[in-house]
Amino acid sequence: MNLSFLSDCAVQDLPSALAERADHVLGGSAIGFPAGSGKKTDWPLQTVVTPLLGGNREMMAEAWLSDVVCLSGEFEGIRWRCAGPLLFGVIELDEADFAGQAGSSPLQEASAEAYRRIFTLLDAQQRPHLWRVWNYLSDINMETAGLERYRQFNIGRQDSFLEFSRGATGNVPAACALGVAGGPLSIAFMAGIHPAVPVENPRQVSAYNYPSEYGPRSPIFSRAVLAYLPAQEVLFISGTASIVGHQTVHPGDLAGQCRESLANIAAVLAEANRLACSDTFVMSELSFRVYIRHATDFLPARNILLPLIGTDVEIVFVQADICRHDLLIEIEAFALHFLGNR
């Protein structure tokens, strides 16, 4: 099978745009306001409740497409589809349904339960290897019960990784975790029969090796992964910010953080190309999603980034809170290559 991507489609146009290919849609996302729009699809669709920046649209949609017919299912709140060796799923859990136990918050419990269900599904469908995960939660930087919510999420996520003997270092998926305006804990994921190849950034400490000053449990993600379909190589670059080593650099300096984030993506690209089996991945071919903490920073950030990555790239700007309160911007990206060209 081969994978393709439909970007920047109006949510209301998505069903008609894909009507003739509806059984080839693995899943996708609807980004923006109002919350709840665009959920009436036959495939798993993650709703990201956060404002789009630039233009006058309230919402936009994206979709992953397979060139073979997909199979659909539901499992304990997860809507999923699979095609060939690949599975895409979405789960949303309301924290209010998790009372929290002694020493454990509702978010921690919801995060652990979400990943338990994901791992159970993947094992049952014999596609056990997570490639890419998109995590969204409200009030990510807020402190409750003496601990920042992002750190609570990391505890719950790691609990499930360890419970299912997945390991919390090394061969872990590419991922992001962003704070949005509201709604449930929302997780979309892509997984495969075969493990992806993790890619780390020589400029940074691996996230899963962060020191304890960033929380009682480290985040679990690789800086990028190279994942393989029979005829394709897929590069997923995780959410990337202005971090060198393990420390935030250029605090309060939007321009500095934009440039440092791209320097980190360039370093990840270089490492990915050292490991890749296809043609060289280059910055100008990537599809980007850029998260900006303050909406007023959109125009300055765009004016800094576009000359550096190219004006013809696919790029979506959204407002979201970054996992550290001193980070102003985070950038994720991906690219698809056909194999046999190197």
Has 260 been annotated as catalytic?
no
Catalytic residue among 148, 200, 233, 330: 330
Which parts of the chain have pLDDT scores under 70? 15, 34-40, 102, 341-342
Q: What is the per-residue pLDDT across 64-83, written as a single tens digit (0 to 9) for each?
A: 999 999 999 999 999 999 99
Alpha carbon distance 238, 223 (integer Å): 5
User: What is the predicted pLDDT for the residue at 58?
Assistant: 84
User: What is the predicted pLDDT for the residue at 35?
Assistant: 56
User: What is the predicted pLDDT for the residue at 111?
Assistant: 97
- The number of angstroms, rounded, from the C-alpha of 32 to the middle of its chain's C-alpha atoms is 16
DSSP 55-91: SS-SEEEEEEEESSPPEEEEETTEEEEEETTEEEEEE
- Residue 85 and residue 71 in contact, taking contact as beta carbons nearer than 8 Å: no
User: What is the predicted pLDDT for the residue at 42?
Assistant: 85
Q: Which domains does the chain have, with CATH numbers?
A: 3-338 (3.30.1330.40)
- Kindly state the percentage of the chain with pLDDT values over 70: 96
Alpha carbon distance 121, 129 (integer Å): 11
**pTM of structure:** 0.96
